[in-house]
Amino acid sequence: MPVSASISPLAPKTIPQLPVVAGVRLATAKAGIRYRDRADVMLAVFDRETSVAGVFTRSKCPSAPVEWCRAQLKGHFARALVVNSGNANAFTGKSGRQACALTAKFTAAAVNCKTSEVFLASTGVIGEPLDAHAFERVMTDLAGSARPDGYSEAAKAIMTTDTFPKLATARIRLGGTDVTINGFAKGAGMIAPDMATMLAFIFTDAPISAPLLQSLLRDGVVDTFNAVTIDGDTSTSDTVLAFATGAAPTPGIRRCTDPRLGPFRKAFNAVLADLAEQVARDGEGARKLVEIIVEGAVSKISARRIALSIANSPLVKTAIAGEDANWGRVVMAVGKAGEPADRDRLSIWFGGIRVAHRGARDEAYDEAAVSAAMKRPEISLKVALGLGKGRDRVLTCDLTQEYVAINGDYRS
């Protein structure tokens, strides 16, 4: 399970330094779960009762930590988050559930909270038992060394095939006070929006109630994490958790009519979108970031389905890897989506250049200009169906030989 030697060419030029979020402290450790000589566990400690919200994979075979988190969310409050890489604790049966319970017990003892206030996520190989004692050995040190500025190290500790750590931050004025929203994520393959893709954790000092935070998160993932697909495969472990410490000195936000909610939502969604785009930029083997826009569909849902059919088509993705504006394959992918479409109204653009118009090749298009557009690292592909007002956008990447190489020997 080697971490890719080279950083994705689509990686952001700079990795942001995240500011402190009052009430959050982080630490990492080398627990030796699978990797040697790198941190593979991170602990986030919340100094006071912190509102928590979560969205998870829609897989019918979710991992043990996903089931654990779903159960603890009912309590509305978190005091600790433990995430490991190297082992997903998925499809591990009864021993997986026991590993969660034990990890929570060790953590609760170290940070002095209830086990129900401990949230867990794991990523890595599926089907291998996870030894919770690996956490026991490092937990006291983790709790003792947690510090408010530990985001970069935490984001690195949860990486698997990621080639760069994914961090984002936003700062807004809320009721006369500055509040911060930090987030980090991991994910590079087994990514499809059936809930939310990969692991992502959001931290804010804004005083948002847990039910309101849940509603923000549920809405926020729709056009961010759920609009990214790398390979159409959906992990058993996808988890996005949001934590609001409430440490900012402003009265609590508990009602959806609170006027402070609008600007908060905007900044919160921007952090989600930033992280989701970074996941697409780190698609396994990716050399192209591809934005797919579908408009003129009968509804937004229909546009989403068509966009995903295009984004997940191996033939479209390999054509883009080959820098080939093969709009015939786009037609194929529209056709197989099963959504209303009329071949003779269909128009297609690559890189802003219309290559097909109303069901046939656009005779006016300049092949050289399209070829130049296809050579860029970021490619926009637009389809207009001419049926209605439904519009949607998803992000994906190309399918390269390196994707196959990475995934052909991941486990062995």
Catalytic positions, please? 197
Q: How far is the CB of 374 from its own copies (least distance, A)?
A: 10
| 333 binds its own copies per the rule CB under 8 A | yes
| 86 binds its own copies per the rule CB under 8 A | no
Query: Two tokens at 96?
Result: 């997986």
Nearer to its own copies by Cβ, of 284 and 392: the residue is: 284
Q: How far is the CB of 29 from its own copies (least distance, A)?
A: 25
Nearer to its own copies by Cβ, of 61 and 372: the residue is: 61
Candidates 231, 274, 295, 392: give the one binding its own copies (CB under 8 A).
Answer: 231
- Sign of the Cα torsion 80, 85, 90, 95 reads negative
Query: Two tokens at 38?
Result: 């790198």
Candidates 224, 226, 235, 396: give the one binding its own copies (CB under 8 A).
Answer: 235
Query: How many beta carbons lie within 10 A of that of residue 345, not counting itself?
Result: 14
| 135 binds its own copies per the rule CB under 8 A | no
Vertex 9 angle, CA 158 and 122, to 5°: 15
| Beta strands 177-186; 166-174: pairing state | antiparallel
Q: Write the interaction track for its own copies spanning residues 283-312; mark x where CB under 8 A is met and - where it is not.
A: -----------------------------x
Q: Write the interaction track for its own copies spanning residues 250-289; mark x where CB under 8 A is met and - where it is not.
A: ----------------------------------------
Q: Write the interaction track for its own copies spanning residues 168-207; mark x where CB under 8 A is met and - where it is not.
A: ---------------------xx-x-x-------------
From edge to edge, which strands make up the β-sheet containing 353-357? 360-361, 353-357, 347-350, 378-384, 289-297, 390-397
User: Crossing angle of helices 93-111/133-145, nearest 10°?
Assistant: 30
Q: CA–CA separation, 255 vs 237, rounded Å?
A: 31
Interface residues for its own copies in 23-62 (CB under 8 A)?
A: 57-62
Q: How far is the CB of 137 from its own copies (least distance, A)?
A: 24
Q: How far is the CB of 59 from its own copies (least distance, A)?
A: 3
List Cα–Cα distances, 385 to 15, 69, 308, 382, 394, in angstroms: 38, 41, 15, 10, 16
